[in-house]
């Protein structure tokens, strides 16, 4: 708004000036009395004008400046201040206006900071969040929410939730949260390029201090990993049960036959007893491997770390694998560049070597060759087990270290395998901070390489 009195005052002064000029022109024709009268009137006009100017400058101008500032504050410009010098009550008024402006600007800064903090928290939570008002309009969606649906803020804010949120299950939870005024939970599958994601959605009603419904908050939890763990657990239990069932059924069947005296001669009896013995050994291996795995996976599992001489470990396990190799006439080689001492769990290292060399012998046909090499490369001590065996299909390689994963189930069973050997090896390698890698070619052979970081080791 423009100052009220500025224009009328200047017009007024102009008027006075014009009057003076006109009166000057008339004066030349008038008598002395008239001249004196007009002079008095002129002087009165001048005094009145000066008084008006004084009043304008002292009271009206400062007030109009204050009004200007207040208007700016009302429009949200909290940086506006009254800078016009005034005195008395108007100076106090200006001071109060400036103080109010300062408080408003501080409040705004604090509010902005709080909003920013809240948005940072909302945008960095692992759950998707959206806020719907009581009429169903979306007011807020966080980053996770947008990333789950691959959309932008503009696709949601200001729209009715049922127009822009496509998933029916989410819509239903919001509807029911409004209807029953309580938290509503559901889960659904969200297809994505990287595979299906499992989402749990909770819609919770929001109430004001008078317990009136003011809207709802939608929370989306990505439970894919939990679901995968649950599925893995289920699979594991199913696998263990299956693995146990086969030898137990066999043992029970042959034991029943023996008990019923159905074995007609000593030879058959011995054959059945042998089967029972082999199947119970298989059970024993399975239970032992399961126990090893569960020990390794315990939260409080501790390696028994000591300075372990690798050649002593090899010397310990060598007779076991040598016997196995001799049965198949397999040549067993062993190369070690120099003596290595690892800061590691010796028993667990032995298990790695037994499992890898044992597998190499099992999956290599008679007359083949298995070579164990220990050397160093860059920052790692490298243990390599290479065979000239049946090899592994490239498609099977990524799943090879999963529990109970076997390329050829029948062959694995015949070798007395439990399907847990490589899972155990991988676990032991990883708890030592190492890495395992496999290369293989069908009918040419396989090569398993384990690397341990040198900082955990030293050589002599």
In angstroms, give the least distance from the CB of 380 to ligand ADP.
21
CB 335 within 8 A of CB 374: yes
In angstroms, give the least distance from the CB of 348 to ligand ADP.
16
Q: Which residue lies nearer to ligand ADP by CB, 97 or 450?
A: 450
243 contacts ligand ADP (rule: CB under 6 A): no
Which range touches ligand ADP (CB under 6 A), out of 22-30, 139-147, 272-280, 421-429? 421-429
Q: Which residue lies nearer to ligand ADP by CB, 276 or 390?
A: 390
- For residue 320, what are the contacts with CB-CB under 8 A and spacing of at least 6? 354, 358
Per-residue tokens: 147 = 């990333």
417 contacts ligand ADP (rule: CB under 6 A): yes
Which range touches ligand ADP (CB under 6 A), out of 88-96, 180-188, 402-410, 452-460? 402-410
In angstroms, give the least distance from the CB of 326 to ligand ADP.
18
- For residue 9, what are the contacts with CB-CB under 8 A and spacing of at least 6? 52, 53, 56
Question: 3-class DSSP state for residue 165?
Answer: coil
387 contacts ligand ADP (rule: CB under 6 A): yes
In angstroms, give the least distance from the CB of 284 to ligand ADP.
14
SS (H, E, C) 85-146: CCCHHHHHHHHHHHHHHHHHHHHHHHHHHHHHHHHHHHHHCCCEEEEEECCCEEEEECHHHH
Q: For ligand ADP, which residue of 205, 215, 389, 434 counts as binding (CB under 6 A)?
A: 389
In angstroms, give the least distance from the CB of 453 to ligand ADP.
24
Per-residue tokens: 112 = 């902005």
What DSSP state is assigned to residue 3? -
Which range touches ligand ADP (CB under 6 A), out of 10-18, 74-82, 225-233, 403-411? 403-411
330 contacts ligand ADP (rule: CB under 6 A): no
Other Cβ atoms less than 10 A from the Cβ of 259: the count is: 9
CA–CA gap between residue 440 and residue 395 (Å, rounded): 11
Binding mask 434-453 for ligand ADP (x = CB under 6 A): ------------x-------
428 contacts ligand ADP (rule: CB under 6 A): no
Q: Which residue lies nearer to ligand ADP by CB, 144 or 426?
A: 426
What DSSP state is assigned to residue 32? H
Q: How far is CA 283 from CA 77, 272, 288, 429, in A?
A: 81, 16, 8, 25
Q: Which residue lies nearer to ligand ADP by CB, 317 or 422?
A: 422
Binding mask 67-106 for ligand ADP (x = CB under 6 A): ----------------------------------------
Q: Which residue lies nearer to ligand ADP by CB, 184 or 422?
A: 422
In angstroms, give the least distance from the CB of 425 to ligand ADP.
7
Helices 310-327 and 346-362: crossing angle in degrees, nearest 10, is: 30
Give phi and psi for 375, each to the nearest 5.
-150, -165
**Of all residues in this chain, which one has the CB nearest to ligand ADP in the complex?**
417
CA–CA gap between residue 444 and residue 456 (Å, rounded): 34
Q: Which residue has the tokens 């007609």?
A: 264
Strands 331-336 and 369-377: parallel
Which runs of consecutive H residues, i.e. helices, occur in 206-333?
224-259, 266-297, 310-327
> End-to-end alpha-carbon separation of the chain, Å?
91
Q: For ligand ADP, which residue of 292, 324, 388, 412 counts as binding (CB under 6 A)?
A: 412
Question: 3-class DSSP state for residue 26?
Answer: helix
Per-residue tokens: 285 = 């291996």
What DSSP state is assigned to residue 71? H
Which range touches ligand ADP (CB under 6 A), out of 193-201, 224-232, 306-314, 411-419? 411-419
CA angle (285, 291, 297) in 5-degree steps: 135
Q: For ligand ADP, which residue of 134, 375, 376, 408 counts as binding (CB under 6 A)?
A: 408
Which range touches ligand ADP (CB under 6 A), out of 36-44, 68-76, 178-186, 416-424? 416-424
Q: For ligand ADP, which residue of 308, 324, 418, 449 counts as binding (CB under 6 A)?
A: 418
Give phi and psi for 96, each to the nearest 5.
-65, -40
How many residues interact with ligand ADP (rule CB under 6 A)? 22
**Which secondary-structure segment (H or E) carries 308?**
strand 305-309
Give phi and psi for 432, each to the nearest 5.
-90, 0
In angstroms, give the least distance from the CB of 375 to ligand ADP.
20
In angstroms, give the least distance from the CB of 154 to ligand ADP.
52
Binding mask 340-379 for ligand ADP (x = CB under 6 A): ---------------x---xx--x----------------
What is the contact surface with ligand ADP in residues (CB under 6 A)?
A: 355, 359-360, 363, 387, 389-390, 392, 400, 405-408, 412, 417-423, 446
């Amino acid at each position: 708004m423009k100052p009220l009195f500025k224009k009328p005052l200047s017009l007024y002064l102009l008027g006075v000036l014009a009057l003076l000029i006109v009166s000057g022109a008339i004066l030349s024709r008038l008598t002395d009395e008239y001249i004196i009268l007009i002079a008095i009137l002129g002087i009165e006009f001048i005094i009145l004008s000066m008084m008006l100017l004084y009043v304008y400058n002292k009271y009206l101008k400062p007030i109009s400046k204050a009004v200007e500032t207040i208007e700016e504050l009302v429009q949200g410009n909290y940086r506006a201040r009254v800078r016009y010098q005034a005195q008395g009550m108007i100076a106090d008024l200006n001071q109060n206006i400036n103080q109010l402006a300062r408080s408003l600007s501080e409040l705004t800064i604090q509010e902005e900071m709080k909003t920013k903090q809240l948005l940072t928290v909302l945008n960095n939570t692992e759950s998707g969040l959206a806020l719907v008002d009581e009429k169903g309009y979306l007011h807020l969606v966080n980053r996770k929410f947008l990333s789950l649906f691959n959309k932008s803020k503009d696709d949601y804010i200001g729209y009715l939730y049922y127009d822009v949120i496509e998933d029916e299950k989410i819509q239903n939870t919001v509807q029911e949260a409004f209807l029953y005024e309580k938290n509503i939970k559901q889960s659904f599958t969200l297809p994505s390029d990287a595979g299906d994601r499992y989402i749990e959605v909770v819609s919770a009603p929001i109430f004001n201090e008078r317990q009136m419904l003011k809207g709802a908050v939608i929370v989306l939890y990505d439970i894919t990993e939990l679901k995968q763990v649950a599925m893995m657990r289920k699979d594991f239990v199913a696998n263990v049960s299956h693995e146990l069932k086969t030898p137990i059924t066999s043992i029970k069947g042959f034991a029943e036959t023996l008990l019923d005296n159905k074995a007609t001669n000593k030879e058959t009896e011995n054959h059945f007893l042998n089967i029972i013995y082999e199947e119970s050994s298989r059970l024993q291996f399975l239970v032992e491997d399961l126990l090893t795995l569960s020990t390794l996976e315990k939260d409080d599992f501790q390696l028994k770390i000591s300075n372990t001489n690798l050649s002593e470990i090899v010397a310990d396990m060598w007779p076991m694998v040598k016997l196995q190799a001799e049965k198949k006439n397999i040549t067993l080689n062993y190369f070690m560049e120099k003596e290595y001492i690892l800061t590691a769990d010796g028993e667990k290292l032995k298990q790695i070597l037994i499992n890898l060399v044992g597998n190499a012998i099992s999956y290599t046909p008679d007359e083949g060759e298995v070579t164990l090499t220990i050397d160093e490369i860059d920052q790692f001590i490298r243990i390599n087990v290479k065979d000239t065996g049946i090899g592994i299909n490239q498609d099977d390689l990524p799943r090879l270290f999963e529990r109970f994963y076997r390329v050829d189930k029948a062959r694995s069973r015949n070798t007395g395998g439990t399907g847990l050997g490589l899972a155990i090896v991988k676990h032991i390698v990883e708890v030592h901070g190492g890495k395992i890698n496999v290369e293989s070619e069908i009918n040419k052979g396989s090569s398993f390489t384990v690397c341990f970081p040198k900082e955990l080791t030293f050589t002599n």
